[in-house]
Amino acid sequence: MEAHDAADLARGMQGLNARIARRVNRALGARGSVWRERYHARELRTPRSVRNAIVYVLMNAKKHGQRFASGIDALSSAPWFDGFARRVAASEDASPLRAPRTWLAGIGWRRRGLIDASERPRAPE
């Protein structure tokens, strides 16, 4: 998520958390908190850190043992992502993704290499 400052990021995350929590509760027929009001925020300053974050977001299900015939998680934003090294099956639905507004998120990370569909996040060292 890109934001102009910490306050914008916090508001954006709060809104996202609320929307997700409402849908989870509706799907489960439940009420109340879905998770704690916390998230891990870290400014990504280098092409490598942005690329690693993209791999984490798009491929995290693989780290937890999920396997996908197409190689990508259809429940993530991967079907609309244009940064794979090899073309993957794209969704025909309208893209939910917004174009990045910064050089680092749009172009810079690509200098570290496009994402291979076989990649998965590494455990912290």
Q: What 8-state DSSP symbol labels residue 104?
A: H
What's the mean pLDDT in 34-44? 71
What's the mean pLDDT in 101-113? 95
pLDDT band per the 50, 70, 90 thresholds, residue 111: very high
Q: How far is 100 from 118, CA to CA, in rounded Å?
A: 24
Pull the structure tokens for residue 79. Answer: 């079907």
Q: By CB neighbour count within 10 A (0-12 exposed, 13-18 middle, 19+ buried), where does 50 fall?
A: buried
pLDDT band per the 50, 70, 90 thresholds, residue 39: low
Pull the structure tokens for residue 23. Answer: 């849908």
Q: What is the mean pLDDT of the chain?
A: 84
What's the mean pLDDT in 11-35? 82
Q: What is the pTM of this model?
A: 0.67
Q: By CB neighbour count within 10 A (0-12 exposed, 13-18 middle, 19+ buried), where does 51 fall?
A: buried
Residue 51, CB-side half-sphere exposure with 13 Å CA sphere? 17
